[in-house]
Structure 1
């Protein structure tokens, strides 16, 4: 999602557009993350994660990845189990009850004859002394992290009844030595691939509903152009390269259309086009700046406009009719993101000189602040609606954070010497 300079002020996007570009021609730096979790949830399930037998055969600490995933959700308090337990072990439940553990996860990793790795796990209900089952999956070494995330997903779903999001992906943009890189990684910021590297800014990545494509804005031709790229093959196509600026792509719920902001008629207005870039139709006709469209699950479009004198969030039907204002707290509200169930809206508000992440209940209009930072941007919901990822500044760097919807548990993805921005959370399925 793109925010015009007139709305956002001197953010990383603005600095990226105005900066002297192309200064460095070296290879893009690799993003290396570690996770720092802070806060205490209101209710957390105490779970012990024993070290998986032979888990380091493939070079990945499976149990540590599972533990970090579950803690990041805010719903679990993970306890490292002493020693090694595999899926064939019979734990002594009284010992675990004495440690105030409600659930226990155990497992193993073994190398198969074809070079793949067999990752197994089993989950125990310590309180009831019940075997809750498990799974086995064979993966190449490159997918061991993914296998660990899927173990965490299985545990999460078994104990909460909801789908886990640890094996989903995020996209974000890094900047280092004057180069910009669009990356696709695991939900914890690790692993993944480089989708695009450029000396010119890359902004506003947006996942297609099926998770196979990314739309984004690239300045590689010295102007803002909207592209769509296939994640697997890397093939990409221009979908909006009209006179003026082309920005802020957003996918319709069924993936057949894109809403974009175009200035080809003079001012920044919302348009709808097919996923291939054809059948362009104007949705708004105002003298204001209309931008940052995002679809709700029911097909309504939320967007930002200064038609009332200051930037506020509005919504309308997918045909452009029935425009109504949504945000009323404060005189500067931008960057809407709608939860997967359509019940909540995350957005950025300006309070004095600070930009804060807020969450609104769309039925009641109740609003609460989620952060204590002052330069928040680009909120995006996890596909199960339980977490938000956003960008902010901390320790003098641009960083990514996740937060639970009550703001109690936050995770900082600490990168190695690069600025990270523009996060967007991908859908289920991979």
Structure 2
């Protein structure tokens, strides 16, 4: 009976899986970016189309990718090139008075040069009011990898202005589902954070859930039902090698990596009740971290790597708890509604994000860990699976808009939103990858 309750809770926390089985179509799908809401406080910035020397690759222009990246962060409001009074490519061509007239704070200019099979970008970022250069760099990449070069430029610009590393060169993992000829096909996919260059990493007739990135960005852990019951796998992305690490009796779910990549937090019900365990991936030894008659699940390490956030129904319904160290008495974090689940702390130890139920809707909320203040960040009704960017400045989650399944990126304070719907089908369970140097 306890085991049945465990699976029932899993079904509740991952209701998206059941919804995905309904009305799914085709999901081969790269994601499509769509602006849904901007932030009033966004900084005016102009990304001037870069001048070009030599034959450039077809497809999106580098400067267009940079502009879209910075807009997606919610912290910048790029000026449309059609509204620019001139298109300078170096400092000597810039008339700062014109950019001040347009209300711009920063202007990015640059030149692209094709040298054989490589493209070189020379770019400079200027503070318009001070008429000072705050960033100048030359970077290069293979002509076939212009998007990576563009994301690199975006990261550098973002950091020069905010002082925080950019996360535009990171990756997303997510699960899509389509049903062809009455047969479900689940696909674990990895893409750029703007949804481009998506690649299928695993395909199955059975559900795939809860992808989680290793801290070096080389592996994914996830739950697969391919054997008829949930089991946890670790997947090496470069080679495609998969290792089944947890296939105990009952529930095997919700893997999360430690900061050193040597262990996984997971939920197991092998001893009867669903509890939080830590598994050493070298020895496969598991250590029980919680022991309670209630169901404990969905654990995540705090920013120090010592404490653990998790979901528990020990107070009568799903709530977020925090255990400062293994064996310590857990402390309840959330009180604002009868349902709060799937905690995801940021990397600085300032906030924890989670799914929050209010007035019948499932929303994304956060709690300030210093003063316990709760803020609801979203306004749609079926939000789930929040994942925080590695720099703590953005958040991605899954939701429904106009009947379609989409991923939405918002600034961490909820001030801007950009939706990334799959071109067809359903998309769920996003996981934001780490910054890899």
Q: TM-score, normalised by structure 2?
A: 0.90
Counterpart in the other structure of 1:46: 44
Match of 1:14 among 2, 5, 18: 18
Counterpart in the other structure of 1:68: 68
- 2:103 paired with 1:100: yes
Counterpart in the other structure of 1:280: 286
Change (3 A) 1:95 1:386: same
Counterpart in the other structure of 1:34: 33
Give me the whole-angstrom Cα distance separating, in 2, the residues matched to 1:143 and 1:320.
48
Question: Contact 1:239 / 1:277 at 8 angstroms: preserved in 2?
Answer: no
Unaligned runs of 5+ in 1: none
C-alpha distance after superposition, 1:254-302 (max 9, x if no partner): 2221111111112211111112461111222222111101110122111
Once the 2 structures are TM-superposed, how far is the Cα of residue 404 of structure 1 from its aligned partner? Answer: 1.5
Match of 2:353 among 342, 346, 350: 346
Once the 2 structures are TM-superposed, how far is the Cα of residue 244 of structure 1 from its aligned partner? Answer: 1.5
Match of 2:326 among 319, 322, 337: 319
Counterpart in the other structure of 1:91: 94
Counterpart in the other structure of 1:134: 136
Change (3 A) 1:366 1:155: same
Change (3 A) 1:86 1:334: same
- 2:373 paired with 1:369: no
Once the 2 structures are TM-superposed, how far is the Cα of residue 414 of structure 1 from its aligned partner? Answer: 2.5
Once the 2 structures are TM-superposed, how far is the Cα of residue 324 of structure 1 from its aligned partner? Answer: 1.7
Counterpart in the other structure of 1:77: 77
Change (3 A) 1:133 1:281: closer
Give me the whole-angstrom Cα distance separating, in 2, the residues matched to 1:381 and 1:98.
37
Give me the whole-angstrom Cα distance separating, in 2, the residues matched to 1:34 and 1:89.
35
Counterpart in the other structure of 1:169: 171
Unaligned runs of 5+ in 2: 1-5
Change (3 A) 1:36 1:276: farther
Give me the whole-angstrom Cα distance separating, in 2, the residues matched to 1:310 and 1:214.
30
Match of 2:396 among 389, 407, 421: 389
Matched ranges for 1:285-300 at <5 A: 285-298=291-304, 299-300=306-307
Once the 2 structures are TM-superposed, how far is the Cα of residue 193 of structure 1 from its aligned partner? Answer: 2.3
Counterpart in the other structure of 1:124: 126
Q: Please state whether the residue corresponding to 1:401 is helix, strand or coil.
A: strand
Change (3 A) 1:277 1:404: farther
- Equivalenced residue count is 421
Counterpart in the other structure of 2:113: 110
Change (3 A) 1:277 1:35: farther
Counterpart in the other structure of 1:147: 149
C-alpha distance after superposition, 1:358-397 (max 9, x if no partner): 1110111110111111111011111111111111111101
| Alignment root-mean-square deviation, CA | 2.3
Query: Which segment is superposed worse, 387-396 or 133-142?
Result: 133-142
Change (3 A) 1:156 1:13: same
- 2:234 paired with 1:232: no
Question: Contact 1:123 / 1:133 at 8 angstroms: preserved in 2?
Answer: yes
Matched ranges for 1:238-277 at <5 A: 238-276=244-282
Give me the whole-angstrom Cα distance separating, in 2, the residues matched to 1:76 and 1:283.
43
Question: Contact 1:87 / 1:120 at 8 angstroms: preserved in 2?
Answer: no
Give me the whole-angstrom Cα distance separating, in 2, the residues matched to 1:131 and 1:240.
53
Q: Please state whether the residue corresponding to 1:57 is helix, strand or coil.
A: coil
Change (3 A) 1:234 1:9: closer
Matched ranges for 1:197-208 at <5 A: 197-208=203-214
Question: Contact 2:135 / 2:160 at 8 angstroms: preserved in 1?
Answer: no
Question: Contact 2:405 / 2:422 at 8 angstroms: preserved in 1?
Answer: no
Q: TM-score, normalised by structure 1?
A: 0.92
